């Protein structure tokens, strides 16, 4: 590709981002590259001239996973790659630190990078336009009372649950809300997605790993408090009724590098995954 003509930036709305932003500006100025700010929903912070993502050869996210998801969603419509710069967070989607940003941009310019194609979840509704999620889709109670959720895979009944709701995650998103709710972790290249129940009122609440080719249908009935539908952590609708969910391959491209930290190593370093207390105690007793 060579040195990009224009780089778009998406930034965290409140976190201190001056150091990575200054490094991006300095790199771009030295190489005659334009930097614009790509507008995303809910973003009021201004750090550069606003511009459309279609003008950019690369989008750079500066923040955590939420900022990265906003950048990915902006990039999907125009098929641009996204480089994530971590900014003091526990994010798993970001690739480099501020100290590594110059080198990462040089490597991108020299085509020394790996396009990491990630899938998304298509969500068809009976009461609204279709949606697309990169991380997860969540149906959750919005007040008192329970949600009743009936799930079917390719027409076959899986479970009927009463409780807080459920979350459906891509492999990318399985390390986020789904993992926190007790769901399985999918490796990044897993050709599947996962349904994880949230807290339930009795009964079984096993998560289910679903083949990429299969279709999941959720029928939802809310209690007196109502329900909300969240896509990638953002509330998009109230009182969803029927959701038809499938996996759509390669919706976005993330900038990766051959020597970057592996997912399992990152989860352990951040202590999202930890060893059994018995094992830790045994290790401490070793000479």
Active site annotation includes 259 = no
Residue 283: other Cβ atoms inside 10 A? 9
Q: How far is CA 179 from CA 66, 113, 170, 213, in A?
A: 16, 29, 11, 22
Contact 67, 10 (CB under 8 A): yes
- Which one is catalytic: 65, 142, 164, 232? 65
Structure tokens belonging to residue 193: 């997605």
Determine the 3-state secondary structure of 29 from DSSP: helix
Q: List Cβ neighbours of 139 (8 Å cut-off, separation of 6 or more).
A: 147, 149, 165, 166, 218, 220, 227, 228, 229, 230, 240, 243
Distance CA 122, CA 48 (A): 33
Enzyme catalytic residues:
65
């Amino acid at each position: 590709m060579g040195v990009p003509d224009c780089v778009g930036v998406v930034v965290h709305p409140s976190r201190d981002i001056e150091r990575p932003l200054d490094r991006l500006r300095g790199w771009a100025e030295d190489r005659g590259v334009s930097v614009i700010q790509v507008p995303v929903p809910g973003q009021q912070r201004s750090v550069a001239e606003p511009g459309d993502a279609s003008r950019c050869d690369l989008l750079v996210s500066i923040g955590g996973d939420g900022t990265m998801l906003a950048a990915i969603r902006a990039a999907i419509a125009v098929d641009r790659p996204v480089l994530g710069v971590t900014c003091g967070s526990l994010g798993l989607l970001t690739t480099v630190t501020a100290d590594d940003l110059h080198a990462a941009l040089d490597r991108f310019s020299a085509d020394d990078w790996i396009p990491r194609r990630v899938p998304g979840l298509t969500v068809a509704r009976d009461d609204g336009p279709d949606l697309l999620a990169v991380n997860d889709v969540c149906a959750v109670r919005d007040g008192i009372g329970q949600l009743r959720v009936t799930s079917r895979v390719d027409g076959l009944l899986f479970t009927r649950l009463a409780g807080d709701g459920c979350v459906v995650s891509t492999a990318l998103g399985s390390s986020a809300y789904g993992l926190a709710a007790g769901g399985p972790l999918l490796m990044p290249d897993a050709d599947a997605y996962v349904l994880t129940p949230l807290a339930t009122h009795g009964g079984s609440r096993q998560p289910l790993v679903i083949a990429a080719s299969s279709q999941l249908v959720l029928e939802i009935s809310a209690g007196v408090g109502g329900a909300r539908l969240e896509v990638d952590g953002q509330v998009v609708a109230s009182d969803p009724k029927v959701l038809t969910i499938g996996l759509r391959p390669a919706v976005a491209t993330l900038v990766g590098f051959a020597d970057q930290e592996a997912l399992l190593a990152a989860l352990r370093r951040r202590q999202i995954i930890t060893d059994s207390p018995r094992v830790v105690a045994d290790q401490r007793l070793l000479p």
